[in-house]
Structure 1
Amino acid sequence: MNGTTSLHSIGSLSTRTGVPVRTIRFYSDIGLLPPTHRSPAGYRSYDNAALIRLRTICALRELDVDLATIRRVLGGDLSVAEVAAAQADAAEIQIRALRLRQSVLRHLARRRHEPEETALVHQLIRLTSEERRRLVADFIDGLTAGTPSEAAAAAALRSALPDLPDDPTDEQVAAWMEIAGLIADDGFRARMARAALPPADEDALPGVAAGTAAELVAFARQAVAAAREAGTGPQDGEAAVVVDAVVARFASALGRPVGPELKEWMAGRFEEGHDPLVARYWGLVWTVNDWQVVPGHLPFQPWLVEALRVGRPER
């Protein structure tokens, strides 16, 4: 042995690195940190290369790299860069899991669920993204597609699956829970199967000839979208202008007089052509997916029905 080589005892190595003697001895026994020299009495000593090796082992262990992988790194089979990339991916998965757990806890803290509901929340939220998508896909697959309306419903559902993000807000968690409840309901399945989404304009006004209905519904939809864009609610005074314009267009197209009877007839037809529970599902999907609400894409019927029935004096 070269007498100029600086050697360290286990105790000295421990002092320099802060690693317990017992741990250094363990690494040495399993071959990760072979001693540079052993005295006749069996005492181990280590050179500066071993000191660097020990620091490398400790750095990788602090990053949760397992001993088998560390052995491959020290043996040259794997680079530190490759191990770091793999560990970064694993850490990202853990971070997503922790964020989701945090969101579930916040949801439970704010909503005071019963014990049975708490178990259901935990079960549904801890599903992987793929499992959640599969849950909705199974619901869609259960829809019959015997009519164009049913086929349209299934196609629309498949084009916009709810996808809960890794770090959901409490509102998104609540929306996902409501979606899960809806798709588990056979009654909702039947309602969804009957609803084309979005409904064709000629289907949104039952009892009116298709061509006329399409023109009238398109006009009503555009008028309501403009009112919403301007921040006008159905109860606001400014809504009367929208109602007057829509009612006048209907009266002209249908050859009926403007008045309370026509307004009530219109309100009834629009209610019949609109399923609020189906619209609710789509609102929940938009919430889960954090999509921007575009007034022109919202169902116009609820706004117009409410505005038609507001007790305003005739103009």
Structure 2
Amino acid sequence: MNDATLFPIGEVARRTGLSVKTIRFYSDSGVVPLAGRSPAGYRLYDLDALLRLDLVRTLRELGLGLAAIRRVLDRKVSVAEVAAVHADAVDLQIQTLRLRRSVLRAVADHGSGPEEAALMHKLTRLTTAERRRLIDEFIVTTFGAEHARHGLAAMVRVAAPHLPDDPSPAQVRAWAELHELIGDEDFRDRMRRAAERQADPAGSGIDDGLPEPVRERITVAKQAGIDPAGPEAGPVVESAVRLFAQAYPHVPDAEVTARLTERLEAAGDPLVERYWRLVWVVNGWQVVPGLLPDASWLLQALRENHTP
């Protein structure tokens, strides 16, 4: 190689767009070795060094560290391999930033204080497995390990809240409220009572143990966005009242609707309903008018006197 193929550091800086200080740093780090020195002792670089510097700059702009870059330049790993690993890391960083943004928006929109802001930040930093473990612990401590896969407990498990990677401020607030709710012993007691009422044979046809034909009608109505307070809910109520009357033939016909309403009111609980609404928000499920557990939907329809 002759002197015509060698470049002083100033020329290298001009050709690469890097500062002289940065080029010296890469040289001293062993990333871009010198090709030699001039008679006066100045650093000289060859074309290979310029190409290496261009690659180094590209990889640095993509966020790779010097250790990874050195392994690429030494051909210990390929650019593709390093890029794949780094892309995964960037995905995680993006997810973290999105969560952080959502928390900040939730704090700003809701006027949250320091304690609530700290709680939302802490909860959104939990991994998916850690969030799932919170729900699992809630189910077991509330319903007991032997009932954790039956009845209401099974519904809670299947419809467990799952905070998305890029949640809205409303989803962040709902997740924080859910966390507070499932940690409240009074709420757990209410969920236990709801599960007991569901399993009670005397309550057959009530709560989420409604007869399957009624539940199917309610499901179709909810999916269609039918408001339980509207006239279109009438046929569903008629079916429920008729089936209730068949199950309790000793109840006078004039009292059937009132008795069914009483049973549903006894089975209902505003905190349990609040839990399900928060789950819908966290999971991003569409909330339409009257989108409640079956018994709550039917109770609202009954209160509007949609009787046969």
- TM-score bin (small chain): 0.7 to 0.9
Q: Where is the helix percentage greater, Structure 1 or Structure 2?
A: 2
Change in Cα spacing, 1:133 to 1:197, as seen in structure 2 (3 Å) is farther
Q: What is residue 235 of structure 1 aligned with on the other side?
A: 229
Q: 1:283 aligns with which of 265, 277, 281?
A: 277
User: Greater CA deviation, 172-181 or 238-247?
Assistant: 238-247
Letter in 2 for 1:26: F
Q: What is residue 73 of structure 2 aligned with on the other side?
A: 74
CA RMSD of aligned residues (A): 3.4
TM-score normalized by the length of structure 2: 0.84
Q: What is residue 123 of structure 2 aligned with on the other side?
A: 124
Q: What is residue 300 of structure 1 aligned with on the other side?
A: 294
Q: Does 1:87 align with 2:86?
A: yes
User: Greater CA deviation, 48-57 or 299-308?
Assistant: 299-308
Q: What is residue 269 of structure 1 aligned with on the other side?
A: 263
Separation in 2, partners of 1:187, 1:66: 51
Q: Is the 8 A contact 2:207 2:295 kept in 1?
A: no
Separation in 1, partners of 2:2, 2:301: 97
CA deviation after TM superposition for structure 1 residue 65, in Å: 1.4
Q: Is the 8 A contact 1:136 1:161 kept in 2?
A: yes
Separation in 1, partners of 2:20, 2:71: 24
CA deviation after TM superposition for structure 1 residue 151, in Å: 5.2
Q: Cα deviation per residue 1:150-205 (whole Å; 9 max; x = unaligned)? A: 854444433343221110123322221221111110111222234439946xx4xx
Q: Does 1:110 align with 2:109?
A: yes
Q: Is the 8 A contact 1:37 1:44 kept in 2?
A: yes
State the 4+ residue runs in structure 1 displaced beyond 6 angstroms. Answer: 211-216, 293-297
Q: Cα deviation per residue 1:42-86 (whole Å; 9 max; x = unaligned)? A: 111111111111111111111221112222211111211111111
Change in Cα spacing, 1:232 to 1:61, as seen in structure 2 (3 Å) is closer
Percent sequence identity over aligned pairs: 49
Give the unaligned 5+ runs of structure 2. Answer: none
Change in Cα spacing, 1:297 to 1:115, as seen in structure 2 (3 Å) is closer
Q: What is residue 221 of structure 1 aligned with on the other side?
A: 215
Change in Cα spacing, 1:198 to 1:111, as seen in structure 2 (3 Å) is farther
Secondary structure of the equivalent of 1:143?
Answer: helix
Q: Is the 8 A contact 1:154 1:193 kept in 2?
A: no
Change in Cα spacing, 1:4 to 1:242, as seen in structure 2 (3 Å) is closer
Separation in 1, partners of 2:102, 2:28: 45
Change in Cα spacing, 1:176 to 1:254, as seen in structure 2 (3 Å) is same
Separation in 1, partners of 2:74, 2:61: 19
Q: What is residue 252 of structure 2 aligned with on the other side?
A: 257
Q: Cα deviation per residue 1:118-145 (whole Å; 9 max; x = unaligned)? A: 2222222232323222222232332352
Q: Does 1:59 align with 2:58?
A: yes
CA deviation after TM superposition for structure 1 residue 36, in Å: 0.9
| Counterpart mapping for 1:156-175 below 5 A | 156-175=155-174
Letter in 1 for 2:22: T
Change in Cα spacing, 1:223 to 1:257, as seen in structure 2 (3 Å) is farther
Change in Cα spacing, 1:297 to 1:43, as seen in structure 2 (3 Å) is same
CA deviation after TM superposition for structure 1 residue 293, in Å: 6.8
Q: What is residue 11 of structure 2 aligned with on the other side?
A: 12
TM-score normalized by the length of structure 1: 0.82
Q: Is the 8 A contact 2:95 2:165 kept in 1?
A: yes
Change in Cα spacing, 1:147 to 1:190, as seen in structure 2 (3 Å) is farther
Q: Does 1:100 align with 2:95?
A: no
CA deviation after TM superposition for structure 1 residue 95, in Å: 0.7
CA deviation after TM superposition for structure 1 residue 116, in Å: 2.5
Separation in 2, partners of 1:183, 1:216: 26
Q: Is the 8 A contact 2:228 2:300 kept in 1?
A: yes
Q: Is the 8 A contact 2:228 2:289 kept in 1?
A: no
